Amino acid sequence: MAELRWNPLLKDWTIVASHRQNRPQMPKDWCPFCPGSGNVPDNYDVHKYDNDFPALSPNPSAPDMVGSDFYKTTESYGKCEVILYSPEHRTTLPQLPVEHIRKLVDLWCERFEELSKDEKIKYIFEFENRGEEVGVTMPHPHGQIYGYSQMPLKIKTELNSCREHYEEHKECLICRMNKEEKDFEKRIIIENEDFLAYIPFFTDFPYGVFIVSKNHRSKMTDFTEREKDNFAKILKDMTGTFDALFDKLFPYMMCIHQAPVNSPEYGNYDDYYHFHVEFYPPLRSSEKIKYYASSEMGAWAACNPTAVEDTAEDLKAAYKKYLNNK
């Protein structure tokens, strides 16, 4: 069964995808994403693979007859794709050359443009889960893309905040964040011609870095060729810095936030929304997890156990170590 169920308390949809419980546990001596598996080309650099157990589908089944006029259900329309970063089973994102990561950026752009042609898709979300600490069981380097037919609540909240700020102050909210971080300087970890990587003033994860375009761009497909190259470079440098922090594979959730598509109700979002990447790393030290516990989950009362000005210093030192080891 796969369907969307309406949550009247939050005015949001919950994806119900009970069929995903039947996903097989992959044997240790076989990987569906490796060349020779029969599932992917024998030769590829990066590759789009349709998810075998999608939470959203372009051909969804009818919702179960368990709803009512109050508890609404609707079909789980959308798209779920797997994006393979490399044919090498154990290679990770920071181990790839910048030129190879640029191919990944181009594939993200290609999929964004293709998925946006479906007028029922409202939001395209690229992300990567990395490490056993966030539930990853498939080590082959990959991320995913979800194409949602309903705007996710967090994105809706960001859009509304950015729109309100733009209408009141005649400036982009995230451009203003960039200015605040540049003026303060101490939370900036990496900077290149076109991007900043910093731990924002407010983040709820000790090492919750944002990567933000310096120029106002609402989506990746708006990048110049140079910006695409520099985005690939800062992705490599930032994830490599994470690994250098504790000298081990650093777990994270990487979430790419871009402007919506096919959503005229959000007005001129290209003017007020700004491309950025949000990292949610679960570690607060080499061996300790920063859990999202009752207050965070039950009340959405975020609590960071560290001052980000201190953890920024940790990451800046890790960046120097990463550069020395390149």
Which neighbouring-strand residues pair with 285?
A: none
**Helix, strand, coil % in the chain, rounded to nearest 5:** 35, 20, 45
Active site residue 142: yes
Beta bridge partners of 283: 289
Q: How many whole angstroms separate alpha carbon 225 and alpha carbon 157?
A: 31
Q: Is the dihedral of CA 144, 149, 152, 156 positive or negative?
A: positive
Q: Could you tell me the two tokens for 235?
A: 């992705």
Alpha carbons 156 and 188: distance in angstroms, whole number: 27
- What six digits make up the tokens of 92? 């990770």
Please give the DSSP secondary-structure letter assigned to residue 20.
Answer: G
Could you give the CA distance from residue 303 to residue 205 in angstroms, rounded to a whole number? 8
Do the bridges between strand 12-17 and strand 2-7 make them parallel or antiparallel, or are there none, so unpaired? antiparallel
Alpha-carbon span 188 to 198, nearest angstrom: 4
Q: Which residues contact 74 (CB under 8 A, 6 or more apart)?
A: 3, 4, 6, 13, 63
Q: Which of 47, 140, 142, 276 is the catalytic position?
A: 142
Q: What are phi and psi of 279, to 5 degrees?
A: -105, 135
Alpha helices in 149-289 (DSSP H): 153-169, 173-184, 225-245, 269-272
In the chain, DSSP finds a helix count (H) and a strand count (E) of 7, 12
- How long is the chain? 326
Question: What residues have CB less than 8 Å from 111, skipping those under 6 apart?
Answer: 48, 81, 83, 124, 126, 145
The helix/strand/coil state of 160 is helix
What is the set of active-site residues? 142
